[in-house]
Amino acid sequence: MAKDYYSLTEVAQTLGISRQAVHKRIKKNKLRAMKVGTTYIIGKEEIKKLKT
């Protein structure tokens, strides 16, 4: 079963960038994410947008 949401670490590994770079994109509104507790989750559709 495929996941619908990914952590900062998973997104960073997928894109080949650091966790901090992913976090900066979220803060600059270049990447939509939802905050759950103390961490963020990113939808797979957002990841697809970044890959293109």
Digit-coded pLDDT (tens) for 5-31: 999 999 999 999 999 999 999 999 999
pLDDT score, position 1: 63
pLDDT band at 47; cut points 50, 70, 90: confident
* 16: containing domain: 5-51
Judge whether 50 and 31 are in contact, CB under 8 Å: yes
pLDDT tops 80 at residue 2: no
Total number of domains in the chain? 1
How many alpha carbons fall within 13 Å on the CB side of residue 17? 13
Put residue 18 in one of left, alpha, beta given phi > 0 → left and psi -120 to 50 → alpha.
beta
Measured torsion, CA atoms of residues 29, 30, 32, 36, in degrees rounded to the nearest 10: -60
Average of per-residue pLDDT across 25-49: 92
